[in-house]
């Protein structure tokens, strides 16, 4: 027990030291991106309005810091003389550097988008072959973050080496600018980026694009697993991305995260319970939390989901350790019931129960399953349990629901609901385990 804990600590430190070393994304990045709500219909005004709403709603207090401009910011062509990228002069009459300045003056960071291909997904000029001048220009403009897509890649994919070389090129170009720029790879999980990207990128997308739907199967997102998937596609429903993430969750850590794609919370395609599941599982799997709704016009319900600071604290926990799926049981009427658990700093734990079936379920959460990795003393321990989607008497998320030994018995969970608990060993258990070290 003691030995395996120490090995785990050493392994985590090692993976941190070997991860993409630009000093950024020590915890998963948080912010907002134009794409899910606005698509190509963006302008300086769209982006500045969102940044101002960030301040009005106090979102930076919760950790949201990046304002990200996705595709379709570009002019029809590069500068014919220098090859430098140019922004669309109608949408961005004052240029990108001015926009970045204004966002910085609000205390926020600014991100841009391009594709490791001949064109971007929206058909604008891509960065393949222009990595150096693009990275330099972004740095001159004051860019803090690059989302780097995979469209029109000229066939430079299909093996990890081809994908690695194409994405490492931009990673090197960003590094050479001397400006710390968070590098968010978006190659849709092709060629297994969880294996080759940790040393070159701060995060990598693991699947085709999300769409604002709970569980609909769509032929445009044809794979049932991303391991050896030959066509990542798009229109991937939210719970399908959770399934994609389950086996690769182990690959993420400090500076190098699995990106489950931008959030759809507030965009209208899912119910409150479904968005609670979406936000919770993204947080627990340590995905970047990038809002994708219209943050200038949010309902109170949307705002309450995205500002659950107990859930955000799990995402931003300094251990950087994603939850693992401990079991996943099919339900005869469809969907599954699954148990997830992970460790947090200070010898505390996070547990989630997820019901994707169409019916309510009753199940006991057995600590033998929760603490598979921690062993018998933890399995027999007593824990104070906090429900991170219940508010306590003072109105703070994370009400205590009591002390439990062996299991949390007879948990009732509605259709498409999630339960997220934090488990704190009672002091006697904590002392006993510390003395074992």
Ligand X SMILES: *[C@@H]1O[C@H](CO)[C@@H](O)[C@H](O)[C@H]1NC(C)=O
Verify binding: residue 346, ligand X, rule CB under 6 A.
Answer: yes
Which of these segments, 140-148, 363-371, 386-394, 414-422, binds ligand X (CB under 6 A)?
363-371
**Any idea what DSSP says for residue 251?**
G
Verify binding: residue 430, ligand X, rule CB under 6 A.
Answer: no
For residue 366, CA distances in Å to 145, 329, 375, 378, 407 come to 42, 14, 13, 12, 4
* The one among 361, 407, 415, 430 contacting ligand X by CB under 6 A: 407
Which of these segments, 46-54, 57-65, 171-179, 386-394, binds ligand X (CB under 6 A)?
171-179
Verify binding: residue 406, ligand X, rule CB under 6 A.
Answer: yes
* The one among 3, 61, 76, 81 contacting ligand X by CB under 6 A: 81
Question: Which residue has tokens 């209208």?
Answer: 268
**56 vs 231 by CB, closer to ligand X:** 56
Verify binding: residue 17, ligand X, rule CB under 6 A.
Answer: no
Verify binding: residue 233, ligand X, rule CB under 6 A.
Answer: no
CB of 53 to ligand X, least distance (A): 12
Judge whether 191 counts as a catalytic residue.
no
Size of site (CB under 6 A) for ligand X = 25
Verify binding: residue 274, ligand X, rule CB under 6 A.
Answer: no
* The one among 44, 70, 71, 131 contacting ligand X by CB under 6 A: 131
* The one among 3, 76, 105, 178 contacting ligand X by CB under 6 A: 178
Question: Which residue has tokens 């968005």?
Answer: 275
Measured distance CA(31)–CA(21) in Å, rounded: 21
* The one among 5, 175, 267, 390 contacting ligand X by CB under 6 A: 175
Question: Mask: binding to ligand X, 283-322, rule CB under 6 A, as x and -?
Answer: --------------x-xx----------------------
* The one among 47, 69, 86, 270 contacting ligand X by CB under 6 A: 86
Which of these segments, 213-221, 350-358, 360-368, 423-431, binds ligand X (CB under 6 A)?
360-368
Question: 421: number of CA atoms within 13 Å, CB side?
Answer: 25
Verify binding: residue 380, ligand X, rule CB under 6 A.
Answer: no
**154 vs 359 by CB, closer to ligand X:** 154
Verify binding: residue 129, ligand X, rule CB under 6 A.
Answer: yes
CB of 420 to ligand X, least distance (A): 16
Verify binding: residue 345, ligand X, rule CB under 6 A.
Answer: yes
Which of these segments, 3-11, 60-68, 155-163, 168-176, binds ligand X (CB under 6 A)?
168-176
**244 vs 257 by CB, closer to ligand X:** 257
Which of these segments, 51-59, 79-87, 117-125, 326-334, binds ligand X (CB under 6 A)?
79-87
Q: Which of 70, 71, 144, 149 is catalytic?
A: 149
Helix segments in 80-181, DSSP class H: 95-105, 131-141, 160-176
Contact 157, 166 (CB under 8 A): yes
Hey, what's the torsion of the CAs at 377, 380, 383, 388, to 10 degrees?
100
Residues whose CB falls within 8 Å of the CB of residue 419, separated by 6 or more in sequence, listed in order: 352, 353, 387, 389, 411, 413
CB of 258 to ligand X, least distance (A): 21
Q: Which residues of 280-318 are buried (b: 16+ CB within 10 A; e: fewer)?
A: bbbbbbbbbbbbbbbbeebeeebeebbbbebbbbbbbbe
Q: Which residues of 251-278 are buried (b: 16+ CB within 10 A; e: fewer)?
A: bbbbbbbbbbbbbbbbbeebeebbbbbb
Judge whether 243 counts as a catalytic residue.
no
Hey, what's the torsion of the CAs at 205, 207, 213, 215, to 10 degrees?
-140
CB of 182 to ligand X, least distance (A): 10
| CA angle at 197 for the pair 192 and 200, rounded to the nearest 5° | 165
Verify binding: residue 21, ligand X, rule CB under 6 A.
Answer: yes
List the 66-68 sheet strands across, edge first: 257-259, 203-205, 182-185, 145-149, 109-115, 66-68, 30-33, 289-291
Which of these segments, 33-41, 153-161, 172-180, 200-208, binds ligand X (CB under 6 A)?
172-180
CB of 335 to ligand X, least distance (A): 23
- The radius of gyration of the chain from alpha carbons, rounded to an integer in Å, stands at 22
Nearest by Cα to 193 from 135, 112, 257: 257
What 3-state DSSP class applies to 423? strand
Measured distance CA(37)–CA(146) in Å, rounded: 19
Measured distance CA(26)–CA(29) in Å, rounded: 8
Question: Which residue has tokens 């709704």?
Answer: 293
Verify binding: residue 22, ligand X, rule CB under 6 A.
Answer: yes
The binding site for ligand X (CB under 6 A) comprises: 21-23, 79, 81-82, 86, 129, 131, 169, 172, 175, 178-180, 297, 299-300, 345-346, 364, 366, 368, 406-407
Catalytic residues: 149, 209
């Amino acid at each position: 027990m003691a030995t395996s804990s120490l090995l785990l600590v050493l392994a985590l430190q090692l993976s941190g030291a070997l991860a993409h070393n630009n000093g950024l994304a020590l915890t998963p990045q948080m912010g907002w991106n134009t794409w899910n709500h606005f698509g190509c219909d963006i302008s300086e005004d769209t982006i500045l309005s969102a940044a101002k709403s960030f301040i009005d709603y106090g979102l930076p207090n919760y950790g949201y810091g990046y304002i990200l401009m996705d595709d379709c910011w570009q002019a029809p062509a590069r500068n014919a003389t220098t090859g430098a990228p140019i922004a669309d002069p109608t949408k961005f009459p004052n240029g990108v550097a001015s926009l970045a300045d204004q966002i910085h003056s609000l205390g926020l960071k600014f991100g841009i988008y391009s594709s490791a291909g001949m064109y971007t997904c929206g058909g604008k000029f891509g960065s393949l072959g222009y990595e150096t001048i693009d990275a330099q220009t972004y740095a001159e403009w004051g860019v803090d973050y690059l989302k780097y897509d995979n469209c029109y890649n000229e066939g430079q994919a299909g093996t990890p080496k081809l994908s690695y070389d194409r994405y490492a090129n931009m990673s090197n170009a960003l590094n050479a600018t001397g400006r710390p720029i968070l590098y968010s790879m978006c190659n849709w999980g092709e060629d297994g980026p969880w294996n080759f990207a940790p040393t070159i990128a701060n995060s990598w997308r693991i699947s085709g694009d999300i769409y604002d739907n709970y569980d609909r199967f769509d032929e445009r997102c044809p794979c049932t697993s991303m391991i050896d998937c030959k066509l990542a596609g798009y229109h991937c429903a939210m719970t399908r991305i959770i399934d994609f993430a389950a086996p690769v969750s182990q690959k993420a850590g400090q500076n190098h995260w699995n990106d489950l794609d931008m959030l759809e919370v507030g965009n209208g395609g899912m119910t409150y319970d479904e968005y609670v599941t979406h936000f919770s599982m993204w947080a627990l799997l340590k995905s970047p939390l990038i809002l994708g709704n219209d943050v200038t016009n949010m309902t109170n319900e949307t705002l309450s989901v995205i500002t659950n600071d107990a859930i955000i604290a799990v995402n931003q926990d300094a251990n950087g350790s994603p939850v693992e799926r401990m079991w996943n049981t099919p339900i005869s009427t469809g969907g599954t019931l699954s148990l997830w658990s992970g460790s947090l700093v200070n010898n505390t734990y996070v547990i989630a129960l997820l019901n994707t079936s169409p019916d309510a379920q009753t199940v006991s959460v057995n600590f033998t399953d929760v603490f598979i990795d921690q062993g018998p003393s933890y399995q027999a321990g007593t824990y104070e349990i906090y429900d991170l989607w219940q508010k306590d008497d003072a109105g703070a998320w994370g009400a205590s629901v009591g002390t439990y030994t062996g299991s949390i018995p007879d948990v009732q969970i509605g259709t498409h609901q999630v339960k997220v608990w934090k488990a704190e060993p009672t002091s006697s258990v904590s002392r006993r385990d510390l003395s074992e070290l």
